[in-house]
Amino acid sequence: MPKSQMTQPRICDYEGASYRTDFWEDKGREYEDRVERVVLRRLLPASGGRRLLEVGAGFGRLTDEYSAYSQVVLLDYSLSQLQYAQEHHGRDERFVYVAADAYTLPFHPGVFDGATMIRVIHHMANVPAVLGQVRRVLTPNGIFILEHANKRNVKAMARYALKKQDWNPYDEEPVEFVELNFDFHPEYIRRALREAGFSTNTRVPVSYLRLGALKRRLSANALVNIDRVLQHSHLLFSPSIFTRSVAVGNTVDNLKRDLLFACPNCGGALVREDDVVRCTRDNRRWAVRDGIYDFKAPLD
Cα(54)–Cα(85) distance, integer angstroms: 12
Tell me the pTM: 0.95
Q: Which pLDDT belongs to residue 4?
A: 40
Give, in degrees to the nearest 5, the angle at Cα 155 between 150 and 160: 95
Torsion of CA 89, 90, 92, 94, to 10 degrees: 20
In this prediction, residue 37 carries a pLDDT of 98
pLDDT for 300 equals 77
Residues of the chain with pLDDT under 50: 1-5
Separation CA 142–CA 151 (nearest Å):
28
d(CA 266, CA 291): 24
